[in-house]
Homo-oligomer: A and B are copies of this chain.
Amino acid sequence: MDFSVWMGTIQERSENTLDRLLPAAHIAPQRLHQAMRYAALRGGKRVRPILCHAVGEICAADPGRLDVAAAAVELIHIYSLVHDDLPSMDNDVLRRGKPTCHVEFDEATALLVGDALQSLAFQLLAEQETGENAARQLAMISLLAHSSGSRGMAGGQAIDLAAVGQTLSLEELELMHIRKTGALIRAAVLLGAYCGKPLTAPEMARLDHFGKVLGLLFQVADDILDSESTTATLGKTAGKDAAQNKPTYVSLLGVVRAREKAAELRAATHESIAPFGEAALRLHQLTDFICDRSF
């Protein structure tokens, strides 16, 4: 199956899974549930679910288990976008081509939407069968919680806040991204692995490394995309980081060296999963797709 067709099927599965697992809009409190569904459905590239499913091919994971794990990590991602768009954070009005959640509803509702989406992510991992046994499900919850928290995604956002108007070194910028975006990308990779037959410790370490490098690659590609796109093609406010005087790979390195950096990371990403052979085909294709969005 062609990669873009395969990706389309996973995006559709993800949409259907979220639709099924989110509370129905007619269940009380209706406005909150409507807002949760507004934020979560019909939009988004579903990179993390696709990643989860691509890793699942390496370890012969059950697609139904992958659906739940992918939904959990995507819910964490979505909640972070809803909170990130709030006036006290990035103050953004456009997301995925639609008004952001607090613009469409109101700030208080958007705050609760994010809070409730986070709870739902952990509820799914605890209630749905995602791993071979309860101990493995606990490991998945621990991983996702750690990746989301103060030493993961939320911590990366805190560093990002502190960086506005600051001059960061490349190392500091990477540390910020490793937490802000990288932690959840890595979690998507490892959650996919937990859904299948147990891998060896070296295999898990390889996937762990792959997840970390891919996370950085994703961010460099995103910075290049953001610097060169218009708001219309991007579906969110373009050039925002530059306007807010936030450091990016492009502002720090210039676009030429940022592209070189992306090319290096791309090669390192492919290399890290080469030992998996044919089973890693989708992961290789996804890596190329993430790069070719922007160059």
Contacts and interface: CB of A to CB of B under 8 A. Distances in A.
Determine the main DSSP class of A at the interface with B.
helix
Interface string A85-98: 01011000000000
Nearest to A139: B126
Q: Interface residue tally of chain A, by bracket? A: 35 or more
A89 B27 CA distance: 23
How many copies of this kind of chain does the complex include?
Answer: 2
B150 A29 contact: yes
Interface in A49-104: 79-80, 83, 86, 88-89
Given A115-B118, A135-B134, A145-B122, A108 B161 contact: yes
Interface in A119-153: 119-120, 122-123, 125-127, 133-135, 137-139, 141-142, 145-146, 148-152
A110 to B, nearest CB: 8
Interface of A: 23, 27-29, 31-33, 36, 79-80, 83, 86, 88-89, 106-109, 111-112, 114-116, 118-120, 122-123, 125-127, 133-135, 137-139, 141-142, 145-146, 148-152, 154-155, 157-159, 161-162
